[in-house]
Amino acid sequence: MTVLDALPRPAQKRIALHVAPAAERALRAGHPWVFESAIRKQSREGAPGDLAVIFDAKDRFLAVGLYDPASPIRVRVLQQGQSAAIDRAWFADRLSAAAAIREPLAAQGTTGYRLVHGENDGLPGLILDRYADTLVLKLYTAAWLPHLRDVLAALDEVHPSPRLILRLSRGVADLAAPYGLSDGLALVGDAPDAPVIFEENGLRFAADVVHGHKTGFFFDQRDNRARVRDLAAGRRVLDVFAYSGGFSVYAAAGGAESVLSVDVSAPALEAAAANMALNADNPRVQDAKHDILVEDAFVALERLRAEGQVFDLVIVDPPSFAKSAAEVDRALASYARLARLAVGLAAEDGMVVLASCSSRVTPDQFFETVTRAADDAGRPLVWPYRTGHALDHPVGFPEGEYLKCLYATVMDE
Ligand code: SAH
């Protein structure tokens, strides 16, 4: 691991911070972020990854976290309430606690899942996904760089693995480049020369862990995919924003008559076809007619409608539409449009599955918006059923609750 030798070491001296009363209250309640705007006093300027200690108005310890001068989230809290040495043993404790939560998954024919979900597992800005024997570590803040050596040592203790791939968010990639770290670098073992194969609920998938979205696969939808499998028998299924065909494969395995996967990305749909093929030993997958359609979803849905096509199960799982508060209204308008298009393509008594992963859009906003859109289209949703997060994506704070999904039957007025 010679590349790690070049990394900066954590500073010996911690930064002392005082914050506004509202931020103090939030920290006491367990919120993991301190915004730049909440800082009232700071002992010195800090480098990415310096440990910052936040004190209350009476100079009592409140929390310790990772300082990030490049982000409006200036400190990401590691521990609150009680001081601690942040070292290899501390990281190992957090990794072990996160692993314990996920234990049930292995018994469900699942070797691909999220081992660490950032803030929600007490390791803010750090994601760890498992793809069978391959681990993928994704960093969303350069504040982790000085601690990477300790994190990797802890990982080797808790999750020894023959391969570990590093993924970096765009901003972090620039800051990590001078140390010889790059997005997709193999930190343990060799970079895979083909997509990595893993299992989810007994089905096989391949993921490009080096270049794929996030770390290569959207594990957060596992439970929703399993529900779709239960609902798919004999149905004509439309999977919109299909990516590598997660929902499509489950629908086929559930006995769908046909599956049409729509995505704007041709490579994503090639992966979807490959994932179908990986499960061809399953007679239901073999029997389902699978088609792919590379097209903008909004355009494709309008066109399918104009052609008079109908589906018994329409799944719509778009990317995040609102990354900032300013984008919420536009995101809601897009969800409404997609819901209107989806119900328009549903057969009588057909079903829709509508998902949102925009953390800025609350579950109520999303469910109300799509329900109203369906009403306005004259195809109201009945027997609605809502779902949230899977167990490997725990919700540790309000902003951590991003995934919501609505299942409903479409009624003719
Ligand atoms: N349902 C998938 C995850 C979807 S991720 C799963 O279960 O794995 C979002 C997908 O939307 C990406 O594959 C991206 O290529 C696609 N996408 C983004 N904008 C799009 C658009 N305007 N039309 C169609 N697909 C789009």
How far is the C-alpha of 198 from the C-alpha of 204, rounded, in Å? 6
Position 107 scores a pLDDT of 86
Strand order of the β-sheet with 311-316 is 289-294, 258-263, 236-240, 311-316, 346-356, 404-410, 381-387
Please state, in angstroms and rounded to a whole number, the distance separating the CA atoms of residues 148 and 332.
Answer: 39
As a whole number of Å, the end-to-end CA separation of the chain is 64
Half-sphere exposure (Cβ direction) of 75: Cα atoms closer than 13 Å: 31
Sequence-separated (6 or more) residues with CB below 8 Å from residue 134: 161, 162, 163, 164, 165, 192, 196, 198, 209
Does the Cβ of 247 fall within 6 Å of ligand 1? yes
* Residue 351 alpha carbon to ligand 1 centre in Å: 20
* Within-domain flag for 238: yes
> 356 and 252 share a domain?
yes
Residue 169 has pLDDT above 70, yes or no: yes
405 flagged as catalytic: no
The CATH number that applies at residue 308 is 3.40.50.150
H helices present in 107-147, as ranges: none
Q: Is 95 found in the same domain as 161?
A: yes
Q: Which of 50, 80, 110 is the last residue of a domain?
A: 80
Q: Is the CB of 243 under 6 A from ligand 1?
A: yes
Cα separation of 116 and 104, whole Å?
A: 15
* Same domain membership, residue 317 and residue 276: yes
Atom 3 of ligand 1, residue of closest alpha carbon: 243
Question: Which pLDDT tens digit goes with each residue over 178-233?
Answer: 999 999 999 999 999 999 999 999 999 999 999 999 999 999 999 999 999 999 99
Verify whether ligand 1 is closer than 6 Å to residue 265 (CB atom): yes
Q: 229, 211, 198: which is closest to 114 by C-alpha?
A: 198
Q: How confident is the model at residue 1 (pLDDT cuts 50, 70, 90)?
A: low
**Best mutation site among 243, 247, 304, 337 for ligand 1, i.e. most ligand atoms within 8 A of its Cβ?**
243
Q: Are residues 342 and 254 in the same domain?
A: yes
Residue 33 host element (H or E)? strand 33-35
Looking at the fold, whether 270 and 382 belong to one and the same domain comes out as: yes
**Which secondary-structure segment (H or E) carries 55?**
strand 51-55
**Pair (71, 169) in one structural domain:** no
* Contacts for 13 with CB less than 8 Å, ≥ 6 apart: none
Q: Give the structural domain span for 250.
A: 218-410
Domain contains 21: yes
Q: Tally the domains of the chain.
A: 3
| Domain membership flag for residue 206 | no
Structural domain contains residue 202: no
- pLDDT, one tens digit per residue, over 41-57 is 999 999 999 999 999 99
Co-location of 406 and 320 in the same domain: yes
Q: What is the largest CA-CA distance in the chain?
A: 69
Residues 391 and 259 in one domain: yes
Q: Are residues 133 and 229 in the same domain?
A: no
User: Could you tell me if residue 300 is inside a domain?
Assistant: yes
Mutating to test ligand 1, I would choose from 263, 275, 298, 358 the residue with most ligand atoms within 8 A of its C-beta, which is 263
- Check whether residue 189 and residue 139 sit in a common domain: yes
Q: Is the residue at 209 inside a domain?
A: no
Q: Which CATH number do you get for residue 139? A: 3.30.750.80
**CA 1 to ligand 1 center in whole angstroms:** 36
Residues 179 and 261 placed together within one structural domain of the fold: no
